[in-house]
Structure 1
Amino acid sequence: MARAASESKPQSSSGRFGRDSSDDNDKPTDLPKESWPAILKRTVKQFSEDQLTTWAAALTYFGVLSLFPMILALVSVLGVIGPSATQPLLDQLGTVAPGPAKDILTNVLTSLEQNQGGSTVALIIGLAAAIWSASGYISAFMDASNNVWDVPEGRPIWKKLPIRLGVTVVMLVLLTVTSLAIVFTGPVAQEVGDLIGLGGTFVDVWNIAKWPVLLVIVSFMVSLLYWACPNVKQPGFPWITPGGVLAVILWIAASALFALYVANFSSYNKTYGSLGGVIVFLTWLWISNIIILLGAEFNSEMERSKAIQEGHPPDKEPYLPLRDDTKLKD
């Protein structure tokens, strides 16, 4: 736990607490095969001890607060392209969101598209509100990440706030790119295909290629959260992490299974009436955040295993040096 960070711990070769992030053995393939069962076992154990389902509930709350300003900004951006640009996005929502969750998002998107006034004004206001609201989610994820890595928050507010806003901006840009990739289909893709002389061939290729591209972008977004949010000095920037890949795969599988369950076996609408869709939507967001935190825990336990391999005491925390301890010196 984070409180253990204040106890006596061995220092790294750099003179800071925890394993030196510049040490060797930084690739997952460098770990011996026999260490993987222990990593998985500790991941499950620490997931429970760190109370990550509770943290996922907190992230769900902040996610809901930030969701609708982000959608407003997204609709404003798509509105610059044209009124019909949101329809392909609406058509694809069912591939990632369970039925009732899709209905809620569809209604919000449609309502915002119909009611937005001046596109430029809505874009500016929406972006400002989205950045600030979404940064609340990033702030909560920073706290949850510190809990996962068993480290205290040593960054003062004047250092933490720029990170919080910077990560938020990057995430919103990537979310916009992801949405545009989804919108970039049908007539739009056909026009581009005609422009470069490939015609329908380009449309066929893009309809297949866009999903791996989107998968890479989403994996990168998750890896960015894992790298920037915790107060630990990690070895370089991991473009794609094992925990990020695990989280994306589990999220796709969980969303599909949850959608199947909601469509065929649940009785949310019978039990909760008109609130059934809201319950399903919140449950889906909660499950999604659980999976993201599980991926972070998996990355953390991988680093713990590397530290143990290098002689770090198994029960001593932290096992990576702190990124910043300014606040702890006050």
Structure 2
Amino acid sequence: MNPIERHKRAWKRTFIYFFDNDGMAAAGNMAFLTMLSLFPFIIFLVAVSGFMGQTASGVEAVNYLLNDVLPPEVSKVVKGPIDGIVKNTGAEILTGSILLAIWTAGNGVEAAREILIKAFGKEYARAVWIRRLESLGVVVFGAIAIVTAMSIMVLGPAVLKAVTSLFPDIVSEGINTAWGYLSLLVSPSILTLGIYMMYLALTPRKIKHTARLPGTLLSVVVLIATAKGLSVYLKYAGNYDVTYGSLAGVVVMQLFCFLVSLGFVLGAELNAAYTFGDASRAKAKARVERRAKEEAAEAASKPDEKKEGAEAPESEA
């Protein structure tokens, strides 16, 4: 099968199974639980950053969410509550409120896992209690990873400045210019890595040779397009606040979560399409190789049979 035909079949299967698995309903459920889990996760994130002595990194992560990920209209809605969370959350970890926050944030992870289980087939799912423990682990390690990544980003410019001071001015200027261009890729790279890790952690482990990159790239493209496109739409759709009144901000936030969740569902189905396509090709390749070996063995035995057939008349003579 040529590559173009392979990609066409994968995308065709993606949209077929998206509708067969009620992808719209799954995206709506994930959007609701994501919005419900956002603030508990931020509470836990700030608590972890304070516990690690990296409060500034936790605040930087929250600012990155507000300024680089969410559209301005959505940021206005959540900025006030998030600022209150940052001010009132301490460094305590094992408290009732923090444990409740971890459990609630895990609901959003479970919604994403259910989407992947539907995409790859329920027969690959693990026990419910194992999945729940894994979801809590994703929340904990996700918060630690975010704080660590933000700490590196905060220290990065200082380290770069110290390194460039060791070189001549012309070299230092070249390094700083290159870093300026590379820094434009930081935001998409963080989003790509984060979504890839979600697919890596939540995809059923019983499946071998799972494809994750196609769905990750699709999800990132949908997320960035939603953030930019929604801002443009709301800029020219000036009557949305008249339609929804005081709930306009909440509706916009829910719409953003729904569109991003839609990209995640499509990404999960795309990963499943490439995974099962690759598995089918691997089985077909194994069958071809096995058949070739059998034919080679048969061909090797035929000369002996011919030789025996040729010697028989001579012996009779």
Q: TM-score, normalised by structure 2?
A: 0.72
Q: Aligned residue for 1:225?
A: 198
Please say which of residues 240-249 and 73-82 is displaced more in the overlay: 73-82
Aligned length: 276
Of 234, 239, 242 in structure 1, the residue corresponding to residue 207 of structure 2 is: 234
Q: Aligned residue for 1:101?
A: 74
Which secondary structure state, in structure 1, belongs to the residue aligned with residue 207 of structure 2? Answer: coil
Residue identity matched to 1:155: R
Q: Aligned residue for 1:69?
A: 40
CA-CA distance at 1:296 after TM superposition: 0.9
Q: Tell whether 2:217 aligns with 1:245.
A: yes
Please say which of residues 287-296 and 220-229 is displaced more in the overlay: 220-229
Q: Aligned residue for 1:157?
A: 128
CA-CA distance at 1:64 after TM superposition: 1.9
**Against the structure 1 CA distance between its residues 84 and 307, is the aligned structure 2 distance closer, same or farther, given a 3 Å change threshold?**
closer
CA-CA distance at 1:60 after TM superposition: 1.6
Q: Which runs of 5+ in 1 are unaligned?
A: 1-29, 313-330
Q: Tell whether 2:138 aligns with 1:170.
A: no
Which secondary structure state, in structure 1, belongs to the residue aligned with residue 195 of structure 2? Answer: helix
Paired with 2:35 and 2:97, the residues of 1 have a C-alpha distance of: 15
Residue identity matched to 2:113: M
Q: Aligned residue for 1:300?
A: 272
1:23-79 CA distance string (max 9 Å, x none): xxxxxxx97332211211221121111111111111122212221111123334556
**RCO (CA 8 Å, sep 6+): is it higher in 1 or 2?**
1
RMSD between aligned alpha carbons? 3.4
Paired with 1:128 and 1:33, the residues of 2 have a C-alpha distance of: 49
1:264-317 CA distance string (max 9 Å, x none): 2252211112210110001101111110111111011112322443567xxxxx
Residue identity matched to 2:69: V
Q: Which runs of 5+ in 2 are unaligned?
A: 167-171, 285-317
Over alpha carbons, which structure has the higher Rg? 2
Paired with 2:58 and 2:165, the residues of 1 have a C-alpha distance of: 22
Residue identity matched to 2:248: G
Paired with 2:56 and 2:246, the residues of 1 have a C-alpha distance of: 30
Q: TM-score, normalised by structure 1?
A: 0.70
Paired with 1:245 and 1:157, the residues of 2 have a C-alpha distance of: 29
- Which residues of 2 match residues 108-187 of structure 1 at below 5 A? 108-116=81-89, 119-121=90-92, 128-152=99-123, 154-180=125-151, 184=154
Paired with 1:128 and 1:268, the residues of 2 have a C-alpha distance of: 38
Paired with 1:207 and 1:78, the residues of 2 have a C-alpha distance of: 27
**Against the structure 1 CA distance between its residues 291 and 279, is the aligned structure 2 distance closer, same or farther, given a 3 Å change threshold?**
same
Which secondary structure state, in structure 2, belongs to the residue aligned with residue 34 of structure 1? Answer: helix
Paired with 1:40 and 1:237, the residues of 2 have a C-alpha distance of: 16
Residue identity matched to 1:34: E
CA-CA distance at 1:167 after TM superposition: 2.5
Residue identity matched to 2:119: V
Is the 2:27–2:265 contact (alpha carbons within 8 Å) kept by the matching residues of 1?
yes
**Against the structure 1 CA distance between its residues 41 and 61, is the aligned structure 2 distance closer, same or farther, given a 3 Å change threshold?**
same
CA-CA distance at 1:222 after TM superposition: 2.0
Of 236, 258, 261 in structure 1, the residue corresponding to residue 233 of structure 2 is: 261
Residue identity matched to 1:273: G
Which secondary structure state, in structure 2, belongs to the residue aligned with residue 171 of structure 1? Answer: helix
Q: Percent identity?
A: 23
Q: Tell whether 2:220 aligns with 1:281.
A: no
Paired with 1:206 and 1:74, the residues of 2 have a C-alpha distance of: 28
**Against the structure 1 CA distance between its residues 84 and 225, is the aligned structure 2 distance closer, same or farther, given a 3 Å change threshold?**
closer
1:142-181 CA distance string (max 9 Å, x none): 2221111123364223432332222232332333345556
